[in-house]
Amino acid sequence: MGEEAPRQGVAARDSFAVDALTGMSAARRGLYVHFPWCLAKCPYCDFAVAVQKRIPEARYTEGLLAELSLRLAARAAWADAPLDSVYLGGGTPSLWAPALVARFLEAVRARLPVRPDAEVTLEANPEVADAARLAGYRAAGVNRLSLGAQSFDVRTLRTLGRAHAPEDARTAVRAARQAGFDNVSVDLILGVQGQSLSSAVQDAEGAVALGPEHVSAYVLTVEREALGQETVFARRLRTGRLQLPEEAAVADMVEAVTDVLQAAGLGRYEVSNYARAGRHARHNALYWTGGDCLALGVGATGFFRTAMGGVRTTSHSSPVRWFADVEAGRLPEAEAEVLTDAEVFTERLMLGLRFTSGLDVEALAQEYGQPSRVQRLQRLEAQGLGSQGADGRFRLSRRGLLLHTDVCALLL
Amino acid sequence: MPPENAHLRNFCIIAHIDHGKSTLADRLLEATGTLSKRESQAQFLDNMELERERGITIKAQSVRMNYTAKDGKTYVLNLIDTPGHVDFAYEVSRSLAACEGALLVVDASQGVEAQTLANVYMALEQGLEVIPVINKIDLPSADAERTRAEIEDVIGIDASGALPASAKEGIGIIDILEAVVKRVPPPKGDPAAPLKALVFDSWYDSYRGVVMLVRVLEGTLRNKQAILLFSNQKTFEVQELGVFSPFSSPVSQLQAGEVGVLIAGVKVIHDAKVGDTVTEAERPCVTPFPGFQEVKPMVFSGIFPIDAGDYEDLRDALEKLRLNDSAFTYEPETSTALGFGFRCGYLGLLHMEIVQERLEREYNLSLITTAPSVVYKVFTHQGEQLLVDNPARLPAVQNIEHLEEPLLTCHIHVPDEYLGGVLKLCQDRRGVQKDIKYLGTSGKRVQVTYAMPLAEVVFDFFDKLKSVSRGYASLDYELAGYQPADLVKLDILINGDPVDALSVIVHRDRAYQRGRDVCARLKQVIPKQMYEVAIQAAIGSRVISRETISAMRKNVLAKCYGGDISRKRKLLEKQKEGKKRMKQVGSVEIPQEAFLAVLRTDE
């Protein structure tokens, strides 16, 4: 397996700002909206999720807009610059009625400047992604669809507790194309119990066969301490009822899946993300380049830079508490974490190194008044974990990307 | 006997660990009104946090109690505490020398243990009146009669007058105090004779300098008196005399028979060694109190700061520790693997653990301790004789004519049902059986005596002894000189580089097994690294064992979006903190515990 050439990731027509430290074009300001409801909770999921027969979607839409007003009142600067991206995540936002999504996006545009070519993504589950619904989202202004296919193997889907069949993902992508989506992403999960190298490769081939612009291939994360909250899988792992493939086998899967995707023109631009040229997720790139993100909804996390560092806010993950706050005119904040410059430095370091385009570690260190890392970078290079490019960026090798945590710990 | 002493009683308590010595001491203090229940912060005499936690006594203490007996007279009872561990046997002997009597506390359900026996014999040799106390009679498993018979059988003293008690429940306390008054003889000694006082404990107090606990044997100690210490012939002036009752209170003099505190402007603890004799400079006594010994460390290990920047702090901490512990030694040591540190000497393994814990706890230092070593005698072909306490300093094989190692005589007490396991363990540890005898008439308890290399005892022997006997075996030992042995240096190589701090000296017959054990153990404790790590054990240039830690392949968080970022950052910061507790040896990060891995086995 050779090292892929560093991806520029920036198409000629790209009008998104380029982050100087990573060379990635990214949204500088985004809006994240969390839609917490699902038809069933997946056993591996650590997001703020609620399962309810009747989803109070109209009430929620109004609540989100009420929260938007509260956020703008609390920090007027959110209206200073136009939004580059909107991301509707979940939960299962494809359960949200298209008419309400339209109403919501319209109301956002009325209150905040949004650039006309903003990236507007919606996460969809294959089982609730029919043609009419997708057309409704497209008409509402959604221009990117992220489809939670996860696998094309019935056994893997069953182990993951997913409700859909492999065929559903194919149907959903066809429907998306018909609805006019020219930017579709497919999610895969690797390292599932019982999954073999060949079934992981088949999943990657299944994703390629759908012709997506973007693929996210996530290794299943189960350990409680790496997740936001307790999951069914974490409990099973602790009690020995869940056996995950060996670390080396999972690493082999990542490498093999990378080979399949890259051969199909989906270049790896981040630890778990692959895209055709110019089609990387601008909104996700915002997180990895320290951009400001206004967040709305149950359990949503937002971030903005300050002169001293940054502030990261997290809303209540219980819909009951969230509703109670926003409907009483209070910010539904569960936590506001004030970050120092040193902490922002740590984050930019660990996030920037996730890109295959690399990170200008020395420029970053200088920007934050940190000592030079040159010697440590040289040591990493000598160990084959990364290489220093002529552009000043340090790029992790494939092996380095898989050992990203250790590399970061060494550089901190 | 001078009438001044008729009301004085000096006694101590001999007990096995856990047999209730400290609790009994507290009850005596309460019963005499020396200490209220409220003040008796459970187990008053154990005044170091560490001692209380481990339930053992390291430093001896002494408390003066006033007791009005049933005969209507008021007596002054001095309770002299004794350390409760084999590492401190010499200190025990000095404490006993300050007494006329001893309470022998035996657990009514456990019976007599080896350590107790050793101390009782010591007390009997010194002519103390021994009063047996059968403790914990409130426990359902208590068997007072059997315990009484065992005391007679095993120790050979009359136990018909043994006192049943429960220190925990406060049963039998007054009977014990009455027995001390009636059976312990009042001290002898002429207050007018030339001064002779025994130092049976000393410690460093940062405000007052060295504090000595003394028993005046002859003559009188007075304020402002010029005194002479026998062992070093140094003179000092008495600045303060006092007694503990239980808090220190000054007195103007201490005369023959009395026990108290002596402060005389002594600056360093080595000038006031336990066992030394204090006399008057003007009118010295002719002979010192016999039995004085320079306490010498028997076990050595390296102590290194994990963070090289802590070296100065470590040195300061060791200096302070040594102020208070005359048996502890240290000198600078340099290791190629661990950098600058110190070679420290201890009385035994417990002493070593206590020193390490105090350094980490009281001085907040992160340390690496290397495996303990004994002192070997090295005879070279050039006819030199060297003492080596550090495997890294062992001369090259070709220069060694032969090696000798220190030998112990070990007495082990064990119920006969566990005898087989104990004999096998001793055999495995190169022990040579010297004696085996059944104690008493029950035929249930056995005392075996082995000659065993000290190095084998240091190497987790005590833990193993406890495990083969389910905790019932007890051990006592004394040094028994040196003997030649076929020893080799076992080196550990990590990725091809010898790590000097992991070297150990072992018997040739056991080197192979030991090498395998250590490699396997290191494989368990060294975490996976970003590259393959080879662990090898070697004798000279011959590799005798190898383990490989495969390289870590994957350690990355797959998803890192909005809400994950803070959590991930904190995980990274935690990992970075964890790294601080690792030592970088070459390119490999080795955790603290790896350096003690050479000490333990999974037999």
Q: What does each C-alpha distance from B512 to B515, B516, B522, B602 come to in angstroms? A: 5, 6, 15, 15
Task: List chain A residues with CB under 8 Å of B556.
Answer: 219, 271, 401-405
| DSSP state letter for B176 | H
- Which pLDDT band holds residue B41 (cuts at 50, 70, 90)? low
Q: Which of A259-263, B57-61, B272-276, B334-338 has the lowest mean pLDDT?
A: B57-61
Please give the span between the terminal C-alpha atoms of chain A, in angstroms, as a whole number. Answer: 29
Task: List chain B residues with CB under 8 Å of A403.
Answer: 530, 552-556
- Which pLDDT band holds residue B37 (cuts at 50, 70, 90)? low
In this predicted structure, what is the pLDDT of residue B3? 60
Q: Is residue A152 part of a domain?
A: yes
Chain-chain contact of B558 with A220 (C-beta, under 8 angstroms): yes
What's the CA angle centered on A149, arms A148 and A150, to 5 degrees? Answer: 90
Q: Is residue A385 part of a domain?
A: no
Task: List chain B residues with CB under 8 Å of A288.
Answer: 560
Among partner residues A221, A301, A303, which is closest to B558 by beta-carbon distance?
A221
Tokens of A154: 């019935």
Q: Is residue A312 part of a domain?
A: no
Interface with A, mutate which of B528, B564, B569 (most A CBs under 10 A): B569
Tell me the average pLDDT across B272-283.
Answer: 91
- Which pLDDT band holds residue A9 (cuts at 50, 70, 90)? very low
State the nearest Cα–Cα gap between B573 and chain A, in angstroms: 8
State the nearest Cα–Cα gap between B594 and chain A, in angstroms: 21
Q: Is residue A403 part of a domain?
A: no
Is the predicted pLDDT of residue B138 greater than 50, yes or no? yes
A147 CB-near residues (< 8 Å, 6+ apart): A123, A124, A125, A126, A129, A169, A172, A173, A176, A184, A185, A186, A187, A212
pLDDT, averaged across chain A = 93
In this predicted structure, what is the pLDDT of residue B36? 67
- The structural domain count of chain A equals 1
Task: List chain B residues with CB under 8 Å of A247.
Answer: 552-554
Answer whether B41 touches A (CB < 8 Å): no
Tell me the average pLDDT across A148-170.
Answer: 94
- Which pLDDT band holds residue B238 (cuts at 50, 70, 90)? very high
Chain-chain contact of A295 with B553 (C-beta, under 8 angstroms): no
Answer whether B470 touches A (CB < 8 Å): no
State the nearest Cα–Cα gap between B423 and chain A, in angstroms: 41
Q: What does each C-alpha distance from B518 to B394, B425, B508, B538 come to in angstroms? A: 20, 19, 15, 11
Chain-chain contact of B555 with A272 (C-beta, under 8 angstroms): no
Tell me the average pLDDT across B554-567.
Answer: 91
Q: How many CB atoms lie within 10 A of CB B251?
A: 15
Chain-chain contact of A228 with B563 (C-beta, under 8 angstroms): yes
Highest mean pLDDT (candidates A260-269, B437-446, B547-556):
A260-269
pLDDT, averaged across chain B = 87
Among partner residues B552, B561, B563, which is closest to A406 by beta-carbon distance?
B552
Tell me the average pLDDT across B177-192.
Answer: 94
Q: Is residue A381 part of a domain?
A: no
Interval A280-298: pLDDT, tens: 999 999 999 999 999 999 9
Tell me the average pLDDT across A145-171.
Answer: 94
Task: List chain B residues with CB under 8 Å of A408.
Answer: 572
Task: List chain A residues with CB under 8 Å of B549.
Answer: none
- Which pLDDT band holds residue B563 (cuts at 50, 70, 90)? confident
In this predicted structure, what is the pLDDT of residue B137? 92
Answer whether A218 touches B (CB < 8 Å): yes
**Three-state secondary structure string covering B63-113:** EEEEEECCCCCEEEEEEECCCCCHHHHHHHHHHHHCCCEEEEEEECCCECC
Which amino acid is present at A162? Answer: R
Q: Report the side by side order of strands in the sheet with A214-219.
A: A267-270, A273-275, A214-219, A184-190, A144-150, A114-124, A83-90, A29-35, A292-296, A301-305, A309-315, A333-340
Nearest residue to B371 via CA among B540, B525, B582, B597: B597
**d(C-alpha B66, C-alpha B35), whole Å:** 11
Answer whether B552 touches A (CB < 8 Å): yes
A–B CB contacts, 8 A cutoff, strictly below: 105
Q: Which residue has the higher pLDDT, A402 or B445?
A: A402
State the nearest Cα–Cα gap between A47 and chain B, in angstroms: 9
Q: Which of residues 45 through 104 in chain A touch B, CB cutoff 8 A?
A: 47
Q: Which domain holds residue A276?
A: 23-288
Among partner residues A225, A251, A350, which is closest to B572 by beta-carbon distance?
A350
| DSSP state letter for B266 | -
Please give the residue of chain A at the shortest CA–CA distance from B576.
A409
- Which pLDDT band holds residue A212 (cuts at 50, 70, 90)? very high
In this predicted structure, what is the pLDDT of residue B61? 66
In this predicted structure, what is the pLDDT of residue A2? 41
DSSP-assigned states of every residue in A20-35: TTT--B--SEEEEEEE
Interval B141-167: pLDDT, tens: 888 888 998 888 878 888 999 999 998
Q: Which of residues 135 through 154 in chain A touch B, CB cutoff 8 A?
A: none
Tell me the average pLDDT across A375-403.
Answer: 96
**d(C-alpha B13, C-alpha B99), whole Å:** 10
Whether the CB-CB separation of B335 and B500 falls below 8 Å is answered with yes
**d(C-alpha A241, C-alpha A239), whole Å:** 6
In this predicted structure, what is the pLDDT of residue B599? 67
Answer whether B553 touches A (CB < 8 Å): yes
A352 CB-near residues (< 8 Å, 6+ apart): A21, A22, A288, A289, A358, A359, A361, A364
In this predicted structure, what is the pLDDT of residue B348? 83
In this predicted structure, what is the pLDDT of residue A230? 86
Interface with B, mutate which of A346, A348, A353, A398 (most B CBs under 10 A): A346
Please give the residue of chain A at the shortest CA–CA distance from B563.
A301
**d(C-alpha B559, C-alpha A227), whole Å:** 10
Is the predicted pLDDT of residue A1 greater than 60, yes or no? no
Tokens of B230: 């026998």
**d(C-alpha B65, C-alpha B9), whole Å:** 10
Q: Which residue has the higher pLDDT, A30 or B463?
A: A30
Answer whether A32 touches B (CB < 8 Å): yes
What's the CA angle centered on B418, arms B417 and B422, to 5 degrees? Answer: 145
In this predicted structure, what is the pLDDT of residue A406? 92
- Which pLDDT band holds residue B477 (cuts at 50, 70, 90)? confident
Is the predicted pLDDT of residue B425 greater than 60, yes or no? yes
Q: Which of residues 226 through 265 in chain A touch B, CB cutoff 8 A?
A: 226, 228, 247-248, 250-251, 254
Partner residues linked to A273 by β-bridges? A216, A270
- Which pLDDT band holds residue B49 (cuts at 50, 70, 90)? low
- Which pLDDT band holds residue B596 (cuts at 50, 70, 90)? confident
Answer whether B554 touches A (CB < 8 Å): yes
- Which pLDDT band holds residue B397 (cuts at 50, 70, 90)? confident
Interface with A, mutate which of B532, B552, B553 (most A CBs under 10 A): B553
In this predicted structure, what is the pLDDT of residue B57? 44
In this predicted structure, what is the pLDDT of residue A70? 97
In this predicted structure, what is the pLDDT of residue A125? 94
Task: List chain A residues with CB under 8 Å of B550.
Answer: 248
Q: Which residue has the higher pLDDT, A108 or A222?
A: A108
Q: Is residue A308 part of a domain?
A: no
| Cis peptide bond upstream of B305, omega within 30 | no
Chain-chain contact of A228 with B567 (C-beta, under 8 angstroms): yes
**d(C-alpha B85, C-alpha B57), whole Å:** 8
Chain-chain contact of B555 with A404 (C-beta, under 8 angstroms): yes
Please give the residue of chain B at the shortest CA–CA distance from A252.
B553
State the nearest Cα–Cα gap between B550 and chain A, in angstroms: 10
Please give the residue of chain B at the shortest CA–CA distance from A299.
B563
Furthest CA-CA distance within chain B? 89
Q: Is residue A16 part of a domain?
A: no
| DSSP state letter for B418 | G
Which amino acid is present at B419? Answer: L
Q: How far is CA A297 from the centre of its chain?
A: 16
Is the predicted pLDDT of residue B88 greater than 50, yes or no? yes
Answer whether A1 touches B (CB < 8 Å): no
Q: Which of residues 298 through 337 in chain A touch B, CB cutoff 8 A?
A: 299-303, 312, 314, 337
Interval B502-535: pLDDT, tens: 999 999 998 999 899 999 999 999 999 988 999 9
In this predicted structure, what is the pLDDT of residue B60? 46
CATH number for the domain spanning A69: value is: 3.20.20.70
Burial code (b: 16+ CB inside 10 Å, e: under 16) for B153-173 equals bbbebebeebbbbbbeeebbb
Whether the CB-CB separation of A37 and A91 falls below 8 Å is answered with yes
Based on the number of CB atoms within 10 Å of its own CB, is A328 exposed (0-12), middle (13-18) or buried (19 or more)?
Answer: exposed
Chain-chain contact of B560 with A32 (C-beta, under 8 angstroms): no
Q: Which of A73-77, A346-350, B389-393 has the lowest mean pLDDT?
A: B389-393
Interval A214-239: pLDDT, tens: 999 999 999 877 787 889 999 999 88
Is the predicted pLDDT of residue B45 greater than 70, yes or no? no
In this predicted structure, what is the pLDDT of residue B83? 67
Please give the span between the terminal C-alpha atoms of chain B, in angstroms, as a whole number. Answer: 60
Q: How many CB atoms lie within 10 A of CB B523?
A: 14
Is the predicted pLDDT of residue A12 greater than 50, yes or no? no
Highest mean pLDDT (candidates A157-161, A266-270, B24-28):
A266-270
Please give the residue of chain B at the shortest CA–CA distance from A254.
B554
Q: Is residue A145 part of a domain?
A: yes
Please give the residue of chain A at the shortest CA–CA distance from B578.
A409
Three-state DSSP class for A235?
helix
Strand pairing report for A83-90 and A114-124 = parallel
State the nearest Cα–Cα gap between B592 and chain A, in angstroms: 19
| Cis peptide bond upstream of A91, omega within 30 | yes
Q: Which of residues 388 through 407 in chain A touch B, CB cutoff 8 A?
A: 401-406
Nearest residue to A156 via CA among A255, A244, A47: A244
State the nearest Cα–Cα gap between B367 and chain A, in angstroms: 21
Based on the number of CB atoms within 10 Å of its own CB, is B534 exposed (0-12), middle (13-18) or buried (19 or more)?
Answer: middle
Q: Which residue has the higher pLDDT, B302 or A227?
A: B302
In this predicted structure, what is the pLDDT of residue A181? 97
Chain-chain contact of A218 with B559 (C-beta, under 8 angstroms): yes
Please give the residue of chain A at the shortest CA–CA distance from B528.
A406
Q: What are phi and psi of B268, to 5 degrees?
A: -120, 145
**d(C-alpha B346, C-alpha B36), whole Å:** 37
Q: What is the pTM of this model?
A: 0.70
Tell me the average pLDDT across A371-376.
Answer: 96
Q: How far is CA A216 from the centre of its chain?
A: 9
In this predicted structure, what is the pLDDT of residue A5? 44
Is the predicted pLDDT of residue B38 greater than 60, yes or no? no
**d(C-alpha B558, C-alpha A97), whole Å:** 31
State the nearest Cα–Cα gap between B563 and chain A, in angstroms: 5
